[in-house]
Amino acid sequence: MRSAVDISEVALLDVIRSLAFVGDLAMGQPTDHSPRAAWMAGQLAKTAGADDDICRQSTAVALMRWSGCTANAPEFAQLFGDDVGGRKALLAIQSAGSGFRAGTDRKGSAFLSLSRIHCEVSGDIGVQLGLDEATQFALRHLFESYDGTGAPGGLRGEQIPVSVYLASLAGDLEIFNRLYGLEQACKLIDQRADVLYPRELAEPLIAHAAQWLAALDDDPTLCGPCSLDAAFTGRTTSLEILAHVIDLKLPWMTGYSRQVAELSRSAALVLGLDAAGQQRAYRAALIHGIGRASVPNMIWNTPGRLAASAWERARLVPYWTGRAARQIGSLADDAEIASYAYERQDGSGYFREAKARNIPVEGRILAAAAALAALRCERPWRDAFADNAAESLLTAEVGAGRYDAEVVHALLDRHRRAPAHIAAKPAGGLLSERERDVLRWISHGASNKTVAQKLSISPSTVRTHVESVFRKLECSTRAAATLKATQLGLL
């Protein structure tokens, strides 16, 4: 059997495209927003006389501009209620400065704190993807402004990477043109010149805006003249990073996608699927939560029965995951299988309401594995079920005709035994046992006070452990610590 590294190694551009898709959903944007902005950022870089490295960096930064969205979703939800709708409204603000800053002016230090979380995680994603240091630095300073009023570092002028300016300009044009038309979009960009970005870059964008937007309209799939492939040809990365970023949106889902993937792969092995089938089951499980970014956290955190309108948004999660298949290249087949995660044998699932004969075996494996993993995890509205109770509940669902009996038998048979192998080896003695206990709780969104109560220690001791964890993981936010810890196998 091939190692986890082998079966999760995929084209770098396809992972970045997937991160862009998740980011666009989280920002309330059309799912082609970031790819369109990335192509225009690259065109603007060429027009400005930039070299190939800057062109590639600008394309990557524009594609990954919203990659930190899942990281600060809990904080956005606290401030705005609807984190998806709140972000969408901020991007639509017609202001001479940052709409993000203008929309949070009355919320204390929200602009700085939200930017810090977003940028730290975006930069760490860049590290894990193996992007160059210049791109990593740009991703850590996405919301800086030319006049020095941005965040998180208050950089100004030439201190800010040109790729940040190019990504910001292209993103503004794409959004404002769609919302207000080309003439008003150009006026708004002109107003922001020398505030958010330098005028010498804004002017060529305005001059070429009509031409570039027309080119995008003529090549809507970005597979022809507007293709982004050349910027990342031949490079690969691990798919697990995408799963970890997806799960950041909801602290109580930390590590969930990885658990589902391990369960799916194990069941596929017991069922006798070939190497390709095991790979599909594993990869589909890693990315089955892509569409979750489209639903506000306030819906996911609802303790009781969802209202009809909220439930309808939740039902569309696998639909959006399936839609992702159309623009993420080599992951298309995996995303299509991932969209069956909530289908049921008797047709009671969603979004297709497909029945057994129409659900691929990898989809049936994923559905059962996702259900088992969910039962074993704590949720805001219930405690985690013990293993025996979770298995009994899943077996009862088989009796009701909702899950494939053979799949569930294989899943539980493998689950009762030791896993075949651990995909990510924990990073030795990097953290003490107590630090890992504290990290585990804060990664699930617990406050220092709550952690103190759970571990029977004082809040000041918790604070000391948190500071130590942050120092050892070289981060300053809960989200960044969670992302690094999951990637290192510490959670």
Distance (Å, whole) CA 435 – CA 166: 41
Token pair for 72: 């600060």
Instruction: Judge if 354 and 261 occupy the same domain.
Output: yes
Distance (Å, whole) CA 435 – CA 305: 36
Q: Is the pLDDT of residue 235 over 50?
A: yes
Instruction: Judge if 379 and 452 occupy the same domain.
Output: no
Distance (Å, whole) CA 291 – CA 28: 12
- Could you read off the pLDDT of 100-153 as tens digits, one per residue? 999 988 888 999 999 999 999 999 999 999 999 999 999 999 999 999 999 999
The dihedral region occupied by 255, where left means phi > 0, alpha psi between -120 and 50, and beta the remainder, is: left
> Domain for residue 6, yes or no?
no
- Could you read off the pLDDT of 362-409 as tens digits, one per residue? 999 999 999 999 999 988 889 999 999 999 999 999 999 999 999 999
> Domain for residue 428, yes or no?
no
Mean pLDDT along residues 340-357:
96
Of the three residues 381, 416, 451, the one that is the final residue of a domain is: 416
The dihedral region occupied by 11, where left means phi > 0, alpha psi between -120 and 50, and beta the remainder, is: beta
Q: What is the pLDDT of residue 413?
A: 85
Calculate the CA dihedral of residues 92, 160, 151, 491 and round it to 10 degrees: 100
Instruction: Judge if 206 and 254 occupy the same domain.
Output: no
Distances (CA, A) of 478 to 18, 473, 474: 23, 11, 12
410 Cβ contact partners less than 8 Å away, ≥ 6 residues apart: 267, 270, 271, 365
pLDDT cut 90: percent of the chain above it: 86
Q: Is the pLDDT of residue 416 over 70?
A: no
Token pair for 258: 């990885």
Q: What share of residues in the chain are helix, strand, coil (percent, to 5)?
A: 65, 5, 35
Contact of 160 with 139, CB cutoff 8 Å? no
> Domain for residue 421, yes or no?
no
Q: Which residue has the tokens 């804060």?
A: 442
Mean per-residue pLDDT over the chain, rounded: 93
> Domain for residue 5, yes or no?
no
pLDDT band at 418 (very low <50, low <70, confident <90, very high): very low
Read off φ and ψ for residue 457, nearest 5 degrees: -130, 170
Token pair for 429: 């003695």
Q: What is the pLDDT of residue 108?
A: 80
pLDDT cut 70: percent of the chain above it: 96
Least trusted range by pLDDT, from 62-71, 348-357, 408-417, 474-483: 408-417
Query: How do strand 9-11 and strand 236-238 relate by DSSP bridges?
Result: antiparallel
Domain of residue 441: give its range.
433-488
Distance (Å, whole) CA 489 – CA 77: 28
| CB neighbours of residue 231 within 10 Å | 21
DSSP string, 315-372: HTHHHHHHHHTTTSGGGHHHHHHHTTTT--TBS-SSSS--BGGGS-HHHHHHHHHHHH
Contact of 21 with 46, CB cutoff 8 Å? no
pLDDT band at 489 (very low <50, low <70, confident <90, very high): confident
92 closest CA partner among 102, 83, 106, 82: 102
Instruction: Judge if 18 and 139 occupy the same domain.
Output: yes
pLDDT band at 442 (very low <50, low <70, confident <90, very high): very high
Instruction: Judge if 87 and 28 occupy the same domain.
Output: yes
Instruction: Judge if 120 and 141 occupy the same domain.
Output: yes
Rounded to 5 degrees, what angle do the CA atoms 298, 299, 302 make? 85
Contact of 68 with 117, CB cutoff 8 Å? yes
Contact of 267 with 369, CB cutoff 8 Å? yes
Comparing 364 with 416, which gets the higher pLDDT?
364
CATH code, 268? 1.10.3210.10
Of the three residues 198, 232, 266, the one that is the final residue of a domain is: 232
Q: Which residue has the tokens 């790979």?
A: 279
CATH code, 438? 1.10.10.10
Mean pLDDT along residues 297-324:
94
Q: What is the pLDDT of residue 17?
A: 94
Least trusted range by pLDDT, from 83-97, 218-232, 400-414: 218-232
Instruction: Judge if 369 and 465 occupy the same domain.
Output: no
At 10 the three-state DSSP class reads: strand
> Domain for residue 424, yes or no?
no
Contact of 140 with 95, CB cutoff 8 Å? no
Q: What is the pLDDT of residue 421?
A: 42
> Which uninterrupted H or E stretch holds 392?
helix 387-399
- Could you read off the pLDDT of 180-205 as tens digits, one per residue? 999 999 999 999 999 999 999 999 99
Instruction: Judge if 453 and 477 occupy the same domain.
Output: yes
Q: Which amino acid belongs to residue 39?
A: W
| CB neighbours of residue 342 within 10 Å | 22
Q: What is the largest CA-CA distance in the chain?
A: 68
> Domain for residue 422, yes or no?
no
Count: domains in the chain: 3
Q: Which amino acid belongs to residue 398?
A: V
> Domain for residue 83, yes or no?
yes
Instruction: Judge if 271 and 396 occupy the same domain.
Output: yes
Of the three residues 358, 391, 416, the one that is the final residue of a domain is: 416
- Could you read off the pLDDT of 1-52 as tens digits, one per residue? 344 446 789 999 999 999 999 999 999 999 999 999 999 999 999 999 999 9
> Domain for residue 215, yes or no?
yes
> Which uninterrupted H or E stretch holds 11?
strand 9-11
Token pair for 410: 């294989």
Enter the pTM of the model.
0.93
Instruction: Judge if 384 and 318 occupy the same domain.
Output: yes
Instruction: Judge if 341 and 466 occupy the same domain.
Output: no
Q: Which amino acid belongs to residue 143?
A: F
DSSP summary character for residue 382: B
- Could you read off the pLDDT of 88-114 as tens digits, one per residue? 999 999 999 999 999 988 888 999 999
Contact of 325 with 32, CB cutoff 8 Å? no
149 Cβ contact partners less than 8 Å away, ≥ 6 residues apart: 97, 98, 101, 195
DSSP summary character for residue 465: H
H helix runs in 129-229, sequence order:
133-139, 162-180, 182-192, 199-218
Distance (Å, whole) CA 423 – CA 77: 33
Least trusted range by pLDDT, from 142-151, 324-333, 395-404, 447-456: 324-333
- Could you read off the pLDDT of 47-58 as tens digits, one per residue? 999 999 999 999
Q: Sign (positive/negative) of CA torsion 443, 434, 240, 67? A: positive
Q: What is the pLDDT of residue 417?
A: 59
Comparing 489 with 298, which gets the higher pLDDT?
298
Q: Which residue has the tokens 């617990």?
A: 446
Instruction: Judge if 328 and 373 occupy the same domain.
Output: yes
Rounded to 5 degrees, what angle do the CA atoms 148, 149, 152 make? 90
| Cβ burial, residue 378 (10 Å; 0-12/13-18/19+) | exposed
